[in-house]
Structures are given as structure tokens and as C-alpha cells.
Amino acid sequence: MTDANSPDNEIEDIEHVDRILRLPEVVRLTGLSGKQLERAENAGEFPCRRRLLKSGRAIGWLHSEVMAWIRTRPKT
């Protein structure tokens, strides 16, 4: 029997936490430019960015949402 607070359980919890992707990584993963991402986002065709700080200058996207979007792209 394992303790709920054991290091193994902490690692499992960390693996289920969604990562925040910053713009350079989203550009690399999608192949789109920052401006293309902005247009797609404004058109409702790409996941919305999230403010990481109240100032709004630091932004990111959830890894799971970006990957889900990538999976919806048609294969060539």
C-alpha cells in the first residue's frame, strides 16, 4: 500500500498537470507565425492565449489545447 503523499504519487500528479507553452514553442509546433496565430485566434480557429500575469504581457497557451488543435489539422 502506498502513501498518498509519497514521492511516486507526486510525480504522477505532475505528469497530469497541463504545461504552458510560450510563443516560440507554439510557433515551432504549429509552423505558423505569431501574426498567423493571432489571426486564427481572433477568428476562433485557434485556442485562446492565457495571461500569465495581471499585466498581460506574459502569455502562453495550454499544451493540451495546442496539441488538440494540431490533431484536427488535415493530413497532407
Assigned domain for 40 exists: yes
- On average, the pLDDT of the chain sits at 87
Share of the chain above pLDDT 90, in %: 68
What is the C-alpha to C-alpha distance for residues 36 and 30, in angstroms, rounded to an integer? 10
3-state secondary structure of 51: strand
What is the C-alpha to C-alpha distance for residues 14 and 18, in angstroms, rounded to an integer? 9
Assigned domain for 59 exists: yes
Q: Provide the residue range defining the domain that includes 68.
A: 17-72
- Count of domains for the chain: 1
- Residue 3 burial (10 A CB sphere; 0-12, 13-18, 19+): exposed
Assigned domain for 30 exists: yes
Assigned domain for 48 exists: yes
Q: Assess whether pLDDT exceeds 80 at residue 4.
A: no
pLDDT tens digits, residue range 23-59?
999 999 999 999 999 999 999 999 999 999 998 789 9
CB atoms within 10 A of CB 41: 14
Assigned domain for 23 exists: yes
Assigned domain for 3 exists: no
